[in-house]
Amino acid sequence: MPGFFVIKMSLKITTAITPQDRGFQYGDGFFTTAAIKFGKAEHWDLHLTRLQSCAKALHFPKIDWQQLQLDCEKHALEHELAVLKVVITRGEGGRGYQAPDEPSLNAIVSILPFPMHYADWQADGIKVSTSNVKLGHQPLLAGLKTLNRLEQVLIKQDAKQFTDSHDVVVLDIHNQVIETSAGNLIGFKNGDFFTPKLSKAGIKGVYLSALQQVNTITEVEESIGFWTDMDALFTCNSLMELVPIIQLDTKQFELEVALIVKQSLMSSLHA
């Protein structure tokens, strides 16, 4: 059944976390979200790499990654299809923003229901609009999945006005396309694949990383016109995987073309 548990990094497991936790107080932590299929978390090696990169960037102390993996594997085994979410915080303590010298970290591992509408998105594609909310630049955190996601909260609020759209495309403050509200973008044009560069803003998704391991996907800094000129356009993350975009604002894309391109892009992933 869905639920969560908290692993103290002393490896004592509890189901309690207090409001004094720095993850709650300041967003002092990071997370990843993986699909569980047939008792295993997909692309776990890339999710672990993401967590390790975040820990290094935020100057977290040493973490017993092997024990965390064992605990996640144990709980994933019980589920044929679900979502595994791992949140790691710096725990309690410190003076204001200043972190404690020897923090007691928490790992909150949740097992959640899988969003079943993604299967329809994969088959039928989605319509997206351009969000009015723009992402700021912070190179120290760009690409990382840290707990401070207030920009995404505002983006989701803004997206409510686009009643005919399933999602929104998000630009940065220089009007360069970065991502969708909860996924990365991949475009296809004349046999080549492209994705927005995420050195100043945005989140580098695990599914995009998996695709880049077996496909050449060029990272570019481009405005909306570049992406509306694509032959096919997709959004992706670890749960929805690769979803065709059939309309971006007023520009329409052929679903049949996108499904052929999708098969080509994913064939190497499952080879």
Residue 162's alpha-carbon distances to 115, 156, 181, in angstroms, are: 21, 10, 13
Q: In this structure, are residues 199 and 144 in contact, taking their beta carbons and an 8 Å threshold?
A: no
Determine the 3-state secondary structure of 29 from DSSP.
strand
Rounded to a whole number of angstroms, the CA Rg of the chain reads 19
Reading phi first (left if > 0) and then psi (alpha if -120 to 50, else beta), residue 157 is in: alpha
CA-to-CA distance for 138 and 43, rounded, in angstroms? 27
Q: Who contacts 72 (Cβ-Cβ below 8 Å, separation ≥6)?
A: 41, 44, 84, 86, 109
CA-to-CA distance for 154 and 157, rounded, in angstroms? 5
Q: Who contacts 181 (Cβ-Cβ below 8 Å, separation ≥6)?
A: 131, 152, 155, 156, 159, 167, 168, 170
CA-to-CA distance for 159 and 185, rounded, in angstroms? 17
The residues annotated as belonging to the active site are 33, 145, 179
- How long is the chain? 271
